[in-house]
Amino acid sequence: MTAVPVIHLAAAHTLRIPSGELAQRARERFGGELRRAGSFAAGPAGALGILWTSSHGALAAAHAALDEGRGGAPVMPFTFIATQPHLAAALLARQARLARAAFVHVERDSWPSLLHVAAHWLRECDEVLVGWVEEGAEKHGIAQSDWCLLRRRPAPARCEPLAEGAGETVSSGEWIARLAAWHAARRDALALRAGGEAWRFVAA
């Protein structure tokens, strides 16, 4: 097997917002900055990759489009466009040089396999965002947006694949939350496994 290139974890972040508060929270967070095009508009300098998943994709938009089209009625353009979740990458492309981008659906407990894909992308990208996003309907009314930022150059933690069977079993949907908590606590090492994958994260 080809050696996995050395990759580093620069950051891990989780967000849980009740669906009913999502619009207001987004306005509070981004409204002013969007008008001024301040720091929010500044993306990373190097080539970025973005690889993210969710269980159903744009579920609310898909239901809205199906409702509109029921009985043969036309589906309105923006309703149809909203069914394609990868379009989020086009928004990011305005702020960063996106070298690779893919929205994927993985099988249960297969999220850690995306770390291998990201490791390969880091041959041509300086950084890769790997995420898990869920609309509220999938998580009992709580919208989820979890991301980790992986880097080719040294960062606070090194990521290493382990032999199958090593590490603590954690459902793959909770990996980024565990990484974020570990990162914040600045402990020495964390080993996780799920779906036949195991990875160790070691503080630099």
Partner 1 sequence: MEVLLRAAALASALGDVDAALERLEGEPLALPYYAIPVPGEDWLARAGTIARSVAASLRQKAALSENEWAAMPCLVGSSSHDIGALEDRQHPVLDPPAAFARRLADWFGVRGPAMSVSTACTSGLSALGIAADLVAAGRCRHALVLGVELANRLTVSGFAGLELLSPHAARPCDRRRDGLALGEALAALVVSTSGTWRIAALSSVLDPSGLAAPAPNEAVIAGSMREALSSAGWQAAEVDVLKLQAGGSLSADLAEGRAVRDVFGTPPRSVSFKGAIGHTLGASGPAELALLMGTLHNGRVPPTWGFSLADDAVGLDPRAGQVSAKRVLFNLAGFGGHVAALALEKST
List of residues contacting partner 1 (CB under 8 A): 1-2, 4, 55-57, 59, 62-63, 65-66, 69, 72-77, 79-81, 83-87, 89-91, 93-94, 98-108, 110, 113, 116-117, 119-121
- The CA-based diameter of the chain, rounded to the nearest angstrom, is 59
* Min separation Cβ 19 and partner 1, Å: 18
Rounded-to-integer distance, Cα 43 and Cα 48, Å:
9
* Min separation Cβ 93 and partner 1, Å: 4
Given the complex with partner 1, which of 121 and 182 has the nearer CB atom? 121
* Min separation Cβ 181 and partner 1, Å: 27
Given the complex with partner 1, which of 6 and 189 has the nearer CB atom? 6
* Min separation Cβ 186 and partner 1, Å: 30
Rounded-to-integer distance, Cα 144 and Cα 59, Å:
14
Given the complex with partner 1, which of 52 and 182 has the nearer CB atom? 52
Rounded-to-integer distance, Cα 149 and Cα 62, Å:
29
Given the complex with partner 1, which of 103 and 175 has the nearer CB atom? 103
Given the complex with partner 1, which of 37 and 204 has the nearer CB atom? 37
Angle at the Cα of 145 from the Cα atoms of 37 and 134, rounded to 5 degrees? 125
* Min separation Cβ 161 and partner 1, Å: 10
Rounded-to-integer distance, Cα 20 and Cα 104, Å:
26
Given the complex with partner 1, which of 33 and 67 has the nearer CB atom? 67
* Min separation Cβ 34 and partner 1, Å: 15
CB-based contacts of 50: which residues, under 8 Å, 6+ apart?
89, 92, 98, 100, 101, 102, 128, 129, 131
Parallel/antiparallel/unpaired status of strands 157-161 and 168-169: unpaired
Parallel/antiparallel/unpaired status of strands 142-151 and 127-134: antiparallel
How is residue 37 written in tokens?
A: 């095009």
